[in-house]
Every structure is written in structure tokens, then in C-alpha cells.
Structure 1
Amino acid sequence: MTEQGILYIVPTPIGNLGDITERAVKTLAEVAAIAAEDTRHTRKLMQHYGIQNDVFALHEHNETQRVDAVIERLLQGDSLALVSDAGTPLINDPGYVLVHRCRERGLKVIALPGACAVTVALSAAGLPTDRFAFEGFLPSKPQQRRAKLEALKIEPRTVVVYESPHRILHTLADMNVVLGSGRQIVLARELTKQFETYLNGTAAELLQVLTDDTNQQRGEMVLLIAPAQSEADVRDGPGEAAKRTLLLLLEELPLKKAAAMTAKIHDERKNELYQWALENKNNE
């Protein structure tokens, strides 16, 4: 019985050619062939690293048609590598159909760790990273883009999207209208490359920066949107129910203890309650 081949998911650099791993180079050299989103781009990359191997095209326009042939090669014992133009395959790149079919057929799939613009941008943007939502590219049509932004307006996680240079001004303008002036946004541009830049501000502020300096409109872009603020974050001081509880407890307890108990009951901030009580007392 022929031993089945393995499909390797191999990340490639998103800019800096030094960001490929030794394991990735070794895998690309040893597999029977490489499935590439753009064979011309991949051959240039292989030439840089001195890799000699067969390359065939597997992209969004032919993946469904070619998947059976790729599966057959794996079943016959050929191990293959899947690469995209840059970064980690399947992260807003082709490959889902192939990997899904491999899993259905019980074929082994091994993903190598490596470069990914999403995680690079999140690591350095200064926004919360414990939870995030990746949305790929926003719709190109204005009405659909604004509808998508409306849906993300109350998203409690950091939102990560890709954007192209020719749409960045339109997208920031829509973000300004839909998300308002209080939402923090980070524009990460040309990641790992010579002119890597992080711009931080509201949509209106970023729009002004890019309008004033057209160089900031160039290159590969990642936009990160800060999480929507909760009701507790945007209101001025403790909630009304917590205030009433605190005033009642203050009739029997010292301020510090009353604030601590109220904080537990209403899931409020103890220091905020303490400060509010002090200010309320001084205003009497």
C-alpha cells in the first residue's frame, strides 16, 4: 500500500526576506512540488533562497477545479507544500478548499509557523490583543462597506482588517462617519519593510495625516480598530443603582468598606465608588 503524502502549509515573508524559517526553506526544497498562489512570485522567492523545485498554480480562480488533482497526488504519496504570495496561507489567501478536502479524506496536513500580517500588526499596535476579530478586506462598494462598519460598531474585540492604497482614504472617511470621533484606530503600513509605519489616532486624524502626506497612502496596509467601549466605560462615574447602594451602606459602614461591598454587588470599580462618595460628601 502506497504511503500517503503530507500537505505542508508554509508561510513566506510579508516583506523582509530574512523572516522565513529554516524549516520552511527545508520543506520547500524537499516536497515533491509547491502549490503557489502566483508561480512567478514564488519562483523569485525560491531563487533568492536557492530552492529548486517544481511549482504549479493554485489560486482563488482555479482552486476548486484543481483540488481533486492535488488530492490524488497526495494519495499517491507525493508530499506537497502550499504557499501564498506573502504570509501564512489561508489567512485571507487561497487554500481553504484544499485543506478542507484533505481533512475530509483523512490526509495529513501540517502547518508551519511563520509570518502573518495580522499577528505582526496586533503585536505592535498597542491595542488589546486578548481577543480580536479578523475581517479580511472590507467590501469595496461604499454602501456595503459602511454596512459592515455599522455591524462592527459595537464589536467588543479589537478588529483587524486589510486595506489597499487606492481605497484607504475612502475607508477612513467611512470609519469617521460610522464609528465617530471617539474610536481609536491604528494604521500599520509596510510591515517588516524599510518604511514600516504605525499611525495612531481617530479616523479623522488619520485621514488628515494621509491627505497631508501622500507617501502614507502607499504600500500594504493593516487597519486595527479599538474595541467598542462598554456602557460602564463611557458613562460618567458609577451607575445609578451602585450609587444608591453605596449611600445606603454609608449609613452603617465606613466609606472604604461600603465602597468595597458596593463594588462586589454591582461589579463596579471600588476606587471610582470611593472617589464619587468623597466628591458627593464635599458637595453637600
Structure 2
Amino acid sequence: MACGTLYLIPCPISDETAPWEVLPASNRAVMDALDYFIVENTRTARRFLSRAGIARPIDTLEFRELNEHTTAGSAVEELVQPLLEGCSAGVISEAGVPAVADPGALVVEACHRRGIRVVPLVGPSSILLAVMASGLNGQSFAFNGYLPVKPPERARAIRFFERRAHAEGQSQLFIEAPYRNVKLFEQLLQLLAPQTRLTVAMDLSAPGQWIETHAVEEWRRRQVPDMNRRPAIFIIG
């Protein structure tokens, strides 16, 4: 029996953006054909597919979760088993593209190990959108996820990434829980050198998206942007 195919299905980054405003029409045929989805959050995935207007009734679809609580091993193998039996599947993250800064990578790895075909579909990535719009080095960049929560540890991380940005010319990206954006931004302005460039990219692909890059000394002269509880990416360059 031929194996199914694992499709990596992007979704909008923002709830304010309709699916077909940021996804190519060619994704629709794939989404319409699937009845098995491996998702980060079932409720979010059902809402996305409903808003996308897929052909099949949502209640007839099978959803199984792969999230930050899932570990490699038997749980992932169980998710892959239907593909070994010939059923194709779609992986859906909570926002943006699956398997990038996302637990979906576990099932992708398992599929490659089992010889199952993996097909990424086109869609918005907040990481790439931020790099594109930053004016910083897009030839060499690193996404570092979340910085430490405790201020002393976060300070060490900020200084480390600044040194790396200057020494290697590599743009350093990171994120924060939206309700901690202001504290992180304030610490960045306190610790970074005046000539270090800093990008703040918020609400990417949403109607109210906001992206600016300035030297830290310029940021210090400006009014702090409203960033509380707004999804954001920060880049040091």
C-alpha cells in the first residue's frame, strides 16, 4: 500500500486577517481533499478551516493534536500511522507556517524517517516577514525563540546576541510573550549600544501591522510604541 502525503498547511498569523487574503488559492484544493489533520490546537484549526470555507463539513474531519506537550516517541508514531496506511494528512499550526518554531517538526521528522512524502505549502511566516521588512542582514540570520524571563538571565542573552550580531554580521531574531513586550523593549534600550540597530515588527500581515528599524540611540529619543499584548518580533543587527 502506498503511503499518504504529509502537507504542511500555513494559516494566517493574525485573527484579523481572512485566510485567502494571505494564502494562495492553490492551497484550497489540498485542504478540500484532506479529512485528517494534525494540529497544534483543535479549536483554532477548526475555526481556520471554517473561515477558509473548505468543501468538507468540519464535523466529518478527524483532528489529532501535536503541541508543546507532545514528546517524540509513541505519541508521534501514532499520528504518523494513518499515513503509513495510505491516508494523507495536513499539519496546521496555531499561526503562520507549521514546523518552524512549532512542534509540528516532530511529525515531519517522523515522516522523513518512515519514507513518507512531505509537501510544504506557501503561506505567511512572521519570521521571514520581519526579516524582509527590517533592512537588516537577510543573508545570515538566526531565530532564537524566547529570551529568558528573569531580567539578569535575559540581560546576558541580550548582550550575547548583540555581540554575535556585531561579530558575525548575523541578524538575531527573538520573540516575547506579548504582555511582556514593554519590559523587554525597555531592557533592550537600556543594554544595547547606541549604534546597534533594532527592529520591532508587530501584528505582521494584520491591518494594523507596524514595523520600524532604528539605531538604539534613535529609539531612545522616540516615544515608546504601543506594543502591549501585540504579537511582536525583535531583531538585533
- When normalised by structure 2's length, the TM-score is 0.85
Equivalent position of 2:99 in the other structure: 90
Q: Deviation string for 1:179-217 (max 9, x for gaps)?
A: 222211111111111211113334465477564x5x333
Q: Which has the higher contact order (CA 8 A, sep 6+)?
A: 2
CA gap 1:13/1:178 in 2 versus in 1, 3 angstroms? same
CA distance in structure 2 between the aligned counterparts of 1:162 and 1:208, rounded to whole angstroms: 23
CA shift for structure 1 position 135: 1.1
Aligned equivalents of 1:3 and 1:147: distance in 2? 51
Q: 2:118 aligns with which of 109, 119, 139?
A: 109
Distance 1:182 1:44, change over 3 A: same
Count of matched residue pairs:
223
Matches for 1:164-175 after TM superposition, within 5 Å = 164-175=177-188
71-80 or 159-168, which moves further after superposition? 159-168
The one of 170, 175, 196 equivalent to 2:209 is: 196
Give, in whole Å, the separation in 1 of the partners of 2:126 and 2:221.
25
**For 1:50-100, what per-residue CA distance to the aligned partner results, in whole angstroms no more than 9, with x for missing partners?**
223332222111353521111211111111010101111111111122111
- Letter paired with 1:14: I
Is 2:233 the counterpart of 1:222?
yes
Residues 155-177 of structure 1: CA deviation (Å, up to 9, x unaligned): 22111212232222222233234
Please identify which structure carries the higher helix content: 1
Whether contact under 8 Å (2:146, 2:174) holds in the other structure is: yes
Matched, 1:74 2:83: yes
- Residue of structure 2 aligned with 1:154, choices 145, 150, 163: 163
Which consecutive residues of structure 1, in runs of 5 or more, have no partner in the other structure? 227-284
Q: Provide the rounded CA distance (Å) in 1 between the counterparts of 2:215 and 2:48.
A: 38
In the other structure, the counterpart of 1:19 is: 22
Which secondary structure state, in structure 2, belongs to the residue aligned with residue 180 of structure 1?
coil
Contact 1:184/1:202 (<8 A) preserved:
yes
- 2-structure distance, mates of 1:202, 1:169: 18
Query: How large is the RMSD of aligned CA atoms in angstroms?
Result: 2.1
Counterpart contact for 1:59–1:94, Cα < 8 Å: yes
Residue 57 of structure 1, aligned match among 34, 56, 65:
65
TM-score, L = length of structure 1: 0.72
Pairwise CA distance, 1:127:
1.8
Q: Which amino acid in the other structure matches residue 178 of structure 1?
A: L
- The structure-2 alpha-carbon separation of the partners of 1:68 and 1:219, relative to structure 1 and needing over 3 Å to count, comes to same
Question: Does 1:119 pair with 2:128?
Answer: yes
Give the 3 Å change call, closer, same or farther, for CA 8–182 of structure 1 in structure 2.
Answer: same
**Residue in 2 aligned with 1:183?**
196
Encode CA deviations 1:124-167: one digit per residue, 9 max, x unaligned. Answer: 22222122111122222223222222221222211121223222
- Does the C-alpha gap of structure 1 residues 54 and 125 become closer, same or farther in structure 2, counting only changes over 3 Å? same
* 1:39 is the counterpart of 2:42: yes
Task: Please report how far the alpha carbon of residue 21 of structure 1 lies from its aligned counterpart in structure 2 after TM superposition.
Answer: 2.0
Structure number with larger C-alpha Rg:
1
Tell me, in whole angstroms, the C-alpha distance in 2 between the residues paired with 1:208 and 1:63.
46
> Does the aligned pair in 1 maintain the 2:189–2:219 contact within 8 Å?
no
